[in-house]
Structure 1
Amino acid sequence: MFIPLHDANDLKHIRLQWVTWSLIALNVIVWLFTGLAGDDSEFTANVILGLGFIPSVVHDFAELPASLVLVPEDATYVTYSFLHANWIHLGSNMLFLWVFGDNVEDAMGHIRFLIFYVLCAVAGAFAHGLLLPESDGPLIGASGAVAGVVAAYLMLHPRVRVWVLVLGRIPLPLPAFIPLLFWIALQFFMVVADLDGEVSWGAHIGGIVAGAVLVLFLRRPGVPLFDRVIDTPKAVIHETPSAGSGKPTPAAPPPRWGR
């Protein structure tokens, strides 16, 4: 695997990625409330059960006790994405969001990026529930939403150099498509090889598919895919030599259509 460290990809349309920063801050704050209480505390367990996405509850195979219901069932399609099991779980998701989120936000704008992020989270929960509809375990973590950000970044900037830590110890600058395509391929492999494992590979797949589709519609008008550069051809001045001087003079502009 790899750990993203930095990308040399400047912002072009916004000055600050305040939505990305706000999402990271909110995730950290929520984790502090639950993490400081202790992973095994009753408070943390109740929050995870009340705000986590539980497929068996959403699909009416089971029902939570009334004392644990914190939000409507449908709201857990989003609330689960702000909960994390531990600081490693939180840190890995927020690192991916930090490195790749700013440029996706730049390509979409603040409001569209927030909508994009939420929809990717919803898609992650939906895919998880589709694959494991009777699961009683609560799904938590921003992985589905972050997977959507990764997919969108790949479609926008596949050739941008990204510094990654390969195998946890080797720093390398690689074109984004090399580590990101490998990461995406791994998610599809693991959803088959380890469907019932502790990691919800299905949520990752749901986020990836949603991110790849939504970036087509939510990016700013004129923002290209795959690092293509859109150049507007400059006006061409046709010159003809002036009589007697030997110097070129601008020719009369061509008539407009309809004239």
Structure 2
Amino acid sequence: MFIPLHDANRLRYIKHQYMTFSIIALNIFIWALTSLSGVESMQAAVLGLGYIPSVVHDLAVLPPELELVPAPLTYVTYAFLHGDIFHLGGNMLFLWVFGDNVEDALGHFRYLLFYLVCTIAAAAFHGMTVPDSQAPLIGASGAVAGVIAAYLILHPRVKLWVLAFARIPLRLPAYIVLLLWIGTQFLMFVIDRENQISWSAHIGGIIAGAVLVFPMRRRGVPLFDRPVVVPEAVKVK
């Protein structure tokens, strides 16, 4: 639908988005490591580190040689695997554009915690909708969906440069672009249950991000782009 390019939204509380950089770098490193190791190694990583609902819910088991981590850890590990460079690139582009300002509003450590909780929530909601599925869930899109939801609540009026339909450059308020994106995720969840994309994971991340940004933001950080009131000297007539 759209590709985000840039937002004119400066950092207010931090100098650099170290945690966003680190998450992106880790995703790229893991993708390079798994993709360059060959098809068999990639498949083993997807089965051993991907989130498989039937395995997590004790309805199925993996062969011992594929159990790379305990099943509960796959609530997190799945989000650092990607199927191909386009899958990786799309998720990391969204995280690059929107992650820095969410990190700015939350602080480095709380942003990392926020990202991981959104990751877990995305997998949990996916697992609730298809509890007996044997298909591995991979990709950071659920966590990124949480970042998008938080950004919408923090900065709905910021102007974004996007490519609409991957062709038309437009400068639009964030609330138009992001509400449309979020609405599409819910619509696709209802009408497209057989697609390879886990719309339920996106919804789980969106809900978690929208809820968590309220208690996890820095004290005094406004919501919905409201201006911060700076006390002035009292004027006496």
* TM-score w.r.t. length of structure 1: 0.90
Alpha-carbon distance between aligned partners in 2 of 1:16 and 1:237, rounded to the nearest angstrom: 39
- Kindly provide the amino acid, as one letter, of the partner of residue 134 in structure 2: D
Q: What is residue 182 of structure 2 aligned with on the other side?
A: 184
Superposition map of 1:177-256 within 5 A? 177-238=175-236
Residue of 56, 70, 77 corresponding to 2:75? 77
Alpha-carbon distance between aligned partners in 2 of 1:194 and 1:72, rounded to the nearest angstrom: 31
Q: What is residue 250 of structure 1 aligned with on the other side?
A: none
Alpha-carbon distance between aligned partners in 1 of 2:41 and 2:102, rounded to the nearest angstrom: 35
Q: What is residue 138 of structure 1 aligned with on the other side?
A: 136
Alpha-carbon distance between aligned partners in 2 of 1:222 and 1:158, rounded to the nearest angstrom: 18
Alpha-carbon distance between aligned partners in 1 of 2:104 and 2:234, rounded to the nearest angstrom: 33
Q: Does 1:127 align with 2:125?
A: yes
**TM-aligned CA deviation for residue 238 of structure 1:** 2.2
Q: Number of residues paired by the alignment? A: 237
Gaps of 5+ in 2: none
Q: What is residue 24 of structure 2 aligned with on the other side?
A: 24
Q: What is residue 5 of structure 1 aligned with on the other side?
A: 5
Alpha-carbon distance between aligned partners in 2 of 1:75 and 1:165, rounded to the nearest angstrom: 36
Gaps of 5+ in 1: 240-259
Q: Alignment partner of 2:162: what SS?
A: strand
Alpha-carbon distance between aligned partners in 2 of 1:184 and 1:106, rounded to the nearest angstrom: 22
Give the 4+ runs in structure 1 shifted more than 2 A: none
Q: Deviations over 1:76-129 (max 9, x none)?
A: 000000000000000000000000000000000000000000000000000000
Residue of 45, 68, 87 corresponding to 1:89? 87
- Kindly provide the amino acid, as one letter, of the partner of residue 9 in structure 1: N
Q: Identity over aligned residues, as a percent?
A: 62
- Kindly provide the amino acid, as one letter, of the partner of residue 8 in structure 2: A
Alpha-carbon distance between aligned partners in 1 of 2:140 and 2:154, rounded to the nearest angstrom: 21
* TM-score w.r.t. length of structure 2: 0.98
Larger radius of gyration: 1
**TM-aligned CA deviation for residue 236 of structure 1:** 1.6
Q: Relative contact order (alpha carbons < 8 A, sep ≥ 6): 1 or 2 greater? A: 2
**TM-aligned CA deviation for residue 5 of structure 1:** 0.1
**TM-aligned CA deviation for residue 197 of structure 1:** 1.2
Q: Alignment partner of 1:172: what SS?
A: strand
Alpha-carbon distance between aligned partners in 2 of 1:156 and 1:172, rounded to the nearest angstrom: 21
Q: Deviations over 1:115-147 (max 9, x none)?
A: 000000000000000000010000000000000
Structure with greater helix share of residues: 2
